[in-house]
A and B are shown apart, each in its own frame.
Chain A
Amino acid sequence: MVKYVVRRTAMVLPLLLLVSAASFLLLYLVPGDPATLLAPPDATTEFVEELRLHLGLDDPLHEQYLRYLWGLIRGDLGRSYLTNRSVVEELAPRFLATIELALASLLLSIPIGLVIGIGAAMKRGSLLDAFLMLSSVVGLSMPAFWLGLVLMLVFSLSLGWLPSSGRGDWRNLVLPAMTLSTWSIAIIGRMTRASMLEVLRRDYIRTARAKGLVEWLVLYRHALRNALLPILTVIGLRFGYMLSGAVITETVFAWPGMGRFIVQAIQSRDYPNIRGALMLLAASFLVVNLLVDVLCAAADPRIRSQQ
């Protein structure tokens, strides 16, 4: 087990290095001079020159990258071009807001997704199954921004039950969490159904039923436990994406999280902020995946021994 964890963790580092290099190079290639963009509109040429020198923008690419990497290792992501605050300081509250939203969505989507998937698998081929699976495809096909706006229109603008945007108490969380969890509910539901069907046709299920075990125990003790691994993987994956992929939902509801942060950073060409956000997102995604893999390996010895 320890060997597996070490081996699996070792795979994360080269990926992070690659991501840091790729995000650095990508932003280096963006047309336009950050110094000109940063300087006030009426700045003199000398001012812009000095600024460029100060930011180290004239240094060769590899020097700039190595300087960046050295900072990264020490947990220093540089300073925002726009606000001159440290990127870490800028990121921290945004990341917390995103985690809050992601956890709320996960809390909503796991039980609903499991119930949908188990129900559909139990009644395979029935009208209920057809209805649940159709609903989940509809869920997958729904643009998040549309769903978000429709929810906002109905529950906030028309009925006035919930606030339409911003972050605050739990009421602010309801609509964005609903929007964000639609996809996850559909995905978890479909994966649960597929995984349960796979398990339900096994011999040990027939044995369990033949020995007279009540159906819910067959389901819980024999089927669900064995069907859990792929479901767990999908949930972990969704969580990883929610941490970084809530761009649309956050934009619709003006949720001050990572997604909106990165869109704003891109629009204002705040390179240190963009790089910092990309690194944090990649790192959190990779760590979540690592945790899921380790959990799966802990649950199933067959995975540990795999190369």
Chain B
Amino acid sequence: MAVRARGRMVSPASDALSFGSGVRSMARQLTRRPVALAAALVVLALMLTALLADRLAPYDPNAQDLRARLAGPSAEHWLGTDELGRDEFSRILWGGRTSLVIGGASVLLATLAGVFLGLIAGYFGGATEQILLLLVEALMAFPGILIALAIVTVLGSGLNNVILAVAIYTIPTFIRLVRASTLQVKTEDYVLAAQALGASHAWIIFRHVLPNVVGPVIVQASLSAGTAILTGASLSFLGIGLQPPAAEWGLMMSTARLYMRLSPHVLVFPGLAIMVTVLAFNTLGDALRDILDPAERS
């Protein structure tokens, strides 16, 4: 069957690196690529601002000032105000926290579940693998946003359910990736040697297989975080993710639709915020993949 991917996908690692040296060399090579380094710094900066949103924001994100509705950027309100006179800059800072929480938590959940299931499918094979692969195929027959939409319908809107929904549609990508890497690692001599020495399955999986599939997983996590943030914002934009008065980028743009003609700033700034964030994660993921893939490097 042809290669199929959800969002952006990584190919399994062909070269086996030990976990510690692999991650260290990834980090070292990152510092040698200016674009990648910039992306990593932007991601870091975004994380810091998200963490410190409550201290950095000049205003309460929900404080209304009806005399200053839809004001353009000024010294007082750097990015202007929205239709209720709330400070756009403060709302974008708080929205960043929400977006990074959605991206981070959903990808973390998906990674944990996907790595676990992928290892089991790849290592043990058999009926378990067949059933898992069928489920993966079925989930991948729908675009992620539709699956997330259906799940949020069942569970109801709200931050936790959005995270769960995004996580569920991200899992198949990780299962596929980890299974493929595991199949490769499984036939390596050191795994056969460990088996010959009588090591338990759990020991082999955690000591020998897992460290060798971590690299591609990190790359995929970075790419998936970008997609997850986009999906989270899309759900809110459609009106089924976070609900008003939450400061969330997708939600902000959904309201901005009504006012964008006379006050384009309410549309432009949250959009730029999403784009920069997703761009940083995507660029970082691309750079990490190039570092991991020796064929690209040559």
- Interface of A with B (CB < 8 Å)? 8, 11, 14-15, 18-19, 22-23, 26, 29-31, 137-138, 140-146, 149-150, 153, 157-158, 230, 233, 236-237, 241, 244-245, 247-248, 251, 262-263, 266-267, 274, 278, 281-282, 285-286, 289, 292-293, 296
How many angstroms from the CA of A22 to the CA of B135 in the assembled complex? 10
Q: How far is the CB of A226 from chain B (nearest CB, A)?
A: 16
Binds A, one of B173-181, B193-201, B254-262: B254-262
Residue of A nearest to B7 (CB): A140
Contact with A along B227-267 (1 / 0, CB 8 A): 00010011001101000000000100110110011001001
Residues in A whose Cβ lies below 8 Å from that of B250: 143, 145
Residue of B nearest to A277 (CB): B146
Which B residues, 1 to 39, have Cβ-Cβ distances below 8 Å to chain A?
A: 1-5, 8
Q: Which of A150, A262, A263 makes the CB contact (< 8 A) with B267?
A: A150
How many angstroms from the CA of A83 to the CA of B8 in the assembled complex? 39
Chain B contact residue count (CB 8 A cutoff): 46
How many angstroms from the CA of A286 to the CA of B141 in the assembled complex? 7
Q: How far is the CB of B46 from chain A (nearest CB, A)?
A: 13
Binds A, one of B50-58, B77-85, B209-217, B279-287: B279-287
Contact with A along B103-118 (1 / 0, CB 8 A): 0000000000000000
Most buried by B among A23, A145, A286, A289: A145
Q: Which of A157, A263, A289 makes the CB contact (< 8 A) with B4?
A: A289
How many angstroms from the CA of A262 to the CA of B238 in the assembled complex? 12
Residue of B nearest to A232 (CB): B2
Q: Which of B143, B234, B254, B278 makes the CB contact (< 8 A) with A141?
A: B278
Residue B274 is within 8 A (CB to CB) of chain A in the complex: yes
Residue contact A247 to B149, C-beta cutoff 8 Å: yes
How many angstroms from the CA of A138 to the CA of B156 in the assembled complex? 32
How many angstroms from the CA of A69 to the CA of B90 in the assembled complex? 52
Residue contact A15 to B264, C-beta cutoff 8 Å: no
Residue contact B146 to A247, C-beta cutoff 8 Å: yes
A15-B137, A289-B2 known; A30+B154 contact, CB < 8 A: yes
Residue contact A141 to B226, C-beta cutoff 8 Å: yes
Residue B275 is within 8 A (CB to CB) of chain A in the complex: yes
Residues in B whose Cβ lies below 8 Å from that of A146: 253, 267, 270-271, 274-275
How many angstroms from the CA of A286 to the CA of B8 in the assembled complex? 19
Contact with A along B150-188 (1 / 0, CB 8 A): 100110100000000000000000000000000000000
A15-B137, A248-B237, A296-B2 known; A266+B150 contact, CB < 8 A: yes
Residues in A whose Cβ lies below 8 Å from that of B63: none
How many angstroms from the CA of A292 to the CA of B282 in the assembled complex? 27
Residue contact B238 to A263, C-beta cutoff 8 Å: yes
Residue contact B145 to A29, C-beta cutoff 8 Å: no
Residue of B nearest to A246 (CB): B143
Residue contact A248 to B278, C-beta cutoff 8 Å: no
